[in-house]
Structure 1
Amino acid sequence: MKHLFITTLLFFMTAFVMAQQTNTIEQYCSMKIYYSIIADGATITIDEGKDDEIMHRLGKRLRDSSNNLIRFKSPVDALNYMGKQGWKLVHTVSNSTDNSDYLYLFKREVKKEE
């Protein structure tokens, strides 16, 4: 009888834990790196699916609070920046035949909006 009670209790506890809903969802974004011949370093654009696609293609670059372009020394510098913002690299896609142009896909957990 004791074993039956413990088994039933464990079953209901497992069902209860699995039925709990999480308060977070996954959010995705893409990052593209642009290199400048004139200025040192590179700039990036980030698409979170909110911006107008035309503005994104015109080069809406990432800026700081003073509206200055944020420049990166290398692709790894840009990836480290995204990591500090809470993003995790999911996939990298080459946009060109010579593999010189990449699109970086990221995700992060954010709280659900009710």
Structure 2
Amino acid sequence: MKKFIIVALCSVFSITLFGQTTLDSLNSKATYCEIVGKQGLFSKKLTINIDYGQETGSFWHPKDTRLKDENGDAIKFNSMIDVLNLMQQEGWDFVNAYVIGDAKDGYVYHWLLRRRIM
């Protein structure tokens, strides 16, 4: 009877060892950012804000998180794919997207990107 219990316990414990995950992707580190695209009131171009998790200031003194060129001017993009192509060149990968709004009030595009840190 003791042998049966010992064999049964060893079998149960050995089965749980197979449940452990050792994938390298779980151990690798990544950083994430959210791209928020808003269409202008009288324009078809998008203004893009990027959230890396940085402090964005207060309600009274917000920090500008728009993508800017070398002159400090906000970059206007033709579409969210235009932004994605730029971010992909910088090493970011697409993760997820969703849209908030409607045709009357305009759309706000939210795209989540990830960049692996080796």
TM-score by length of 1: 0.62
Q: Which has the larger radius of gyration?
A: 2
Indicate the residue corresponding to 1:101 in structure 2. Answer: 108
Q: What's the CA shift string for 1:19-71, capped at 9, x where partnerless?
A: x9xx962000100002123456212000000122647x775311112101111
Instruction: Calculate the aligned-residue CA RMSD, in Å.
Output: 3.1
Q: Secondary structure at the match of 2:107?
A: coil
Q: Secondary structure at the match of 2:84?
A: helix
TM-score by length of 2: 0.60
Deviates more, 1:57-66 or 1:81-90: 57-66
The amino acid of 2:34's aligned partner reads: S
Q: Secondary structure at the match of 1:103?
A: strand
Indicate the residue corresponding to 2:31 in structure 1. Answer: 27
What is the CA–CA distance in structure 2 between the aligned matches of 1:84 and 1:74, rounded to whole Å? 16
Q: Secondary structure at the match of 1:95?
A: strand
What is the CA–CA distance in structure 1 between the aligned matches of 2:40 and 2:63, rounded to whole Å? 15
What is the CA–CA distance in structure 2 between the aligned matches of 1:58 and 1:92, rounded to whole Å? 24
What is the CA–CA distance in structure 2 between the aligned matches of 1:61 and 1:71, rounded to whole Å? 10
The amino acid of 2:100's aligned partner reads: N
Q: Secondary structure at the match of 1:66?
A: coil
Q: Structure 1 residues 27, 93: CA separation in 2 closer, same or farther (over 3 Å shift)?
A: same
Is the strand fraction higher in 1 or 2?
Answer: 2
Contiguous gaps of at least 5 residues in structure 2: 1-21
Identity of aligned residues (%): 27
Indicate the residue corresponding to 2:80 in structure 1. Answer: 75
Deviation at 1:94, TM superposition (A): 2.7
